[in-house]
Amino acid sequence: MISNVHVIISGRVQGVWFRANTKQKAEMLGLTGWVKNTNDGRVEAVFEGDNDKLDEMIKWCHKGPSLSKVDKVDIKKQKPTDEFDGFSIRY
């Protein structure tokens, strides 16, 4: 089953290659969507794909790349949109 989740990751998540590693992990899992830095120092992302793969991506977001320190991950389930061609980094 295909689902869509919107996540906001808080902690030391900017300047530690979080977006690039998120993109790499999402593509490896076959997910679509996007990731971006927010003005308040967090990282925001939307992932769309198979539920099992989304669960794996969310687990990864709780840890992130080796230089990050994730304090909190807010997750909001949404209806799938099927609007994404791939996974992108937004600026």
Cβ(19)–Cβ(42) below 8 Å: no
Residue 66 has which token pair?
A: 């080796």
Catalytic residue among 4, 12, 19, 42: 19
CA distances from 86 to 40, 47, 78, 79 (A): 26, 10, 18, 17
Annotated catalytic, 37?
Answer: yes
Pick the catalytic residue from 12, 21, 37, 39: 37
Instruction: Report the alpha-carbon distance of residue 85 to residue 83 in Å, rounded.
Output: 7
Q: Indicate which residues carry an active-site annotation.
A: 19, 37
